[in-house]
Amino acid sequence: MTTTTSTLQTDAGWDGSYYRVLAEGFEALFLPSPEEVLDEVCNVDVEVHLPDGSRWSATIFTLAEVDRLMRRWEGTGEAAGGQRFWCSDGLIVRDPGIQGMVGVIAELLASGEFDRAFHRLSDPE
C-alpha cells in the first residue's frame, strides 16, 4: 500500500507484529495492538531505522492519551495520583494516527531535532 500525506510518500504494511512504514530517508516500525485502527493510534512504540544503519526508539503519545492516562492515575494513585507524566524517550504529538506520526518523524529529521527526541539503540551484534 502506498499513501501520500502532504508531500510525504510512504509504502506501508504489516510485517508480523510490526506496522512497517518506508518513507524517504527512514523506515519506521510501529508496534500497535493488532485490533487498533491505525488512524486512531494514540500510544505506540516505534523503532526508526536510518540509512546510516542506526536504530532509534521512542514511545509516541497524543495529548489526549496523556490526559486520559493522568486522569486514570488520579483514581489508581499512580504517578503521584495523576499529578505527573513522564516516560523515557516519550514524544507527544497533537493528533492520533500512524501517518501523522510518520510526518512528525520526517519533520524531526528535517529540522535536526530527531536525535533529541529519539533514543539511539545499540548496534546489533
The answer to pTM > 0.75 is: yes
Q: How many residues does the chain have?
A: 125
The C-alpha angle 96, 73, 86, rounded to 5 degrees, equals 60
pLDDT, one tens digit for every residue, the chain (125 residues): 344 444 456 788 999 999 999 999 999 999 999 899 999 999 999 999 999 999 999 999 999 999 999 999 999 999 999 999 998 899 999 999 999 999 999 999 999 999 999 999 987 66
E strands, 6-117, in order: 8-15, 18-23, 26-30, 43-49, 55-62, 90-93
Query: For residue 94, how many C-alpha atoms fall within 13 Å in the half-sphere facing its CB?
Result: 2
Interstrand relation of 55-62 and 90-93 (parallel, antiparallel or unpaired) = parallel
Measured distance CA(23)–CA(21) in Å, rounded: 6
